Structure 1
Amino acid sequence: MTTADRACYLAVPVPTSDRPGPWPGVVLVHDAFGPGDDMHEQADWLAAAGYVVVMPDLYGGRSAVRCLKGTFAQLARRQGPVFDQLEAARSALAADDRCTGVVGVIGYCMGGGFALLLAGRPGWSAAGVNYGQVPDDVADVLAGACAVVASFGGRDTSLPGAATKLRAAADAAGVTADVHEYPRARHGFINRLAAASPLTPMMKVAGVGYDHASAADAKQRILAFFDVHLRGAG
């Protein structure tokens, strides 16, 4: 990697006899809490499965509380430095000798919203959307988009009907998609957020919580999907 290395977390697979490298790449877009330990673990399990993963620090080392409003504003405008940073990460990863040149994106919560928007932009081969915001014009967003694997929680009160909306839009746009809603799961069900944060009260109000069974199944689906659309493309 050559672009803002110190502002990124990089997870590289261990070479094995059946997967010696190079490997497909994945840009991970962190959630609203920033690039903490949980997001590092998300990058690490993808790397263990044979993907070179880079996670840019969208907050530039600043606190989530200071950066949250501005980052969400860029998400709503669909432009700004965050999008430039993610594109720079994709370009640098595709050019890295450890990568096959095929790159996907995965995001969680706020990052899932960015991942969905990026799916319709050039250069991405697959997008993993985990309980990310689904805009009303999602059918337009998905016009010409890459393949999308998405997971939502049935008990996520912040995103009612999101899975149904995304599934219908993908079908209408002719986009290959695996969209699933887990009935028992709440928002953030793949993430283990153990550390206290200034955003913890927001988590309690929104009903955020980890669900092991749903998380395990979602990870299996993501890997199976990426193996087809990222590893297969390589």
Structure 2
Amino acid sequence: MYARRTVLKGAAALPLAAVLADPLLSKAVAATLNEADLVTNGGLNVKGFVAVPEATPAPAIILIHEWWGLNDQIKAVAADFAKAGYVAIAVDLYGGKVATDPETARSYMGQVNGEDAIDTLSSWIDWIKQEPICNGKVATIGWCFGGGWSLNASIARDVDATVIYYGNVARQAADLKELKGPVLGHFAESDQWINHEMVDKFEAEMAKAGKPVTTYWYDAQHGFANPTTARYDREDAALAWERTSAFLAKNL
């Protein structure tokens, strides 16, 4: 117990990127979250992990993991949001499965049922809006696989802000009209999949829908904000996080 407290004390003094880059620190911080069980509107039994700030009621943020699954890094980001004054819910769309190699991650991602994912995300948004720890304002944020689902969740339910890190944004104006709040997107110039062609079309469709969107491009690769991969770009990740923090503070 003493060793764990020592690790947590050290983690509290470190920037988020340093915590995410260290598996021991990420695991220790992730363990501070509260596990929550939820029966979705469609009858699914799902789990999430909740970080609660010192002062409530507070705005809430729904975090959606990368294609790796809900690992300690995403939970640690949720804990950091709680330190900043938000209720943070790290949602699991893989049913507890976590990948450590690209082949397995790709397999898990391919197994996700779209209707179940929307049911899960919508239900978490509905749940937190009714909880006394939430002031009624909600945002979504996701990375990679989760970036696309951050947008999908915001289309399915009214939220106050949406953040997308290099996620699939191939949606039409008819769908985007359902968005309530503004969208912030972070994209990488060297991304071979979430590229300018896709994002330019997304911006055009957002304009048709009359919805506000801000996009930033970084001279980096897909996944540049993840300190655990070789594609991590420290300066761009820090800038994107600064922009994300300001965006959420403004809209929540």
Which of residues 40, 54, 58 is equivalent to 1:23? 58
> Among 220, 223, 232, which residue is 2:245 paired with?
223
Q: SS state of the match for residue 144, structure 1?
A: coil
Structure-2 separation of matches of 1:170 and 1:45: 31
Distance in 2 between residues matched to 1:6 and 1:88, nearest whole Å? 10
Cα distance, 1:141 vs. partner?
Answer: 2.5
Contact 2:109 2:145 in 1 (8 A): no
Q: Give the residue type in structure 1 aligned to 2:48.
A: C
Unaligned runs of 5+ in 1: 195-207
Q: CA RMSD in A?
A: 2.1
CA distance in 1, matches of 2:143, 2:57: 26
Contact 1:144/1:175 (<8 A) preserved: no
The structure whose Rg is larger is 2
Partner letter of residue 11 of structure 1? A
- Of the three residues 148, 153, 159, the one matched with 1:124 is 159
CA contact (8 A) 1:105 1:126 kept: yes
Normalising by the residue count of structure 2, what TM-score does the alignment of the two structures yield? 0.74
SS of aligned partner of 1:68: helix
* TM-score normalised per structure 1: 0.79
Q: Give, in whole Å, the separation in 1 of the partners of 2:47 and 2:155.
A: 25
- 1:2, distance to aligned residue in structure 2 (A): 6.0
Q: How does 1:122-201 map to 2 (within 5 A)?
A: 122-135=157-170, 137-145=171-179, 146-161=181-196, 162-182=198-218, 184-193=219-228
Q: Which residue number corresponds to residue 235 of structure 2?
A: 213
Separation in 1, partners of 2:233, 2:83: 21
Specify the SS of the correspondent of 1:54.
strand
Measured at CA, do residues 114 and 6 of structure 1 come closer, stay the same or move farther in structure 2, by a change above 3 Å?
closer
Which amino acid in structure 2 is aligned with residue 215 of structure 1? A
Q: Match for residue 76 of structure 2?
A: 41
% same residue: 30
> Which residue of 2 is the match for residue 69 of structure 1?
110
- Asked if structure 2 preserves the Cα contact closer than 8 Å seen for 1:117 and 1:141, the reply is no
Residue 49 (structure 2) aligns with: 9
Q: Which has the higher contact order (CA 8 A, sep 6+)?
A: 1
* Residue deviations 1:17-49 (CA, integer Å, cap 9, x gap): xxx321100111111100112212222222222
Unaligned runs of 5+ in 2: 1-35, 40-44
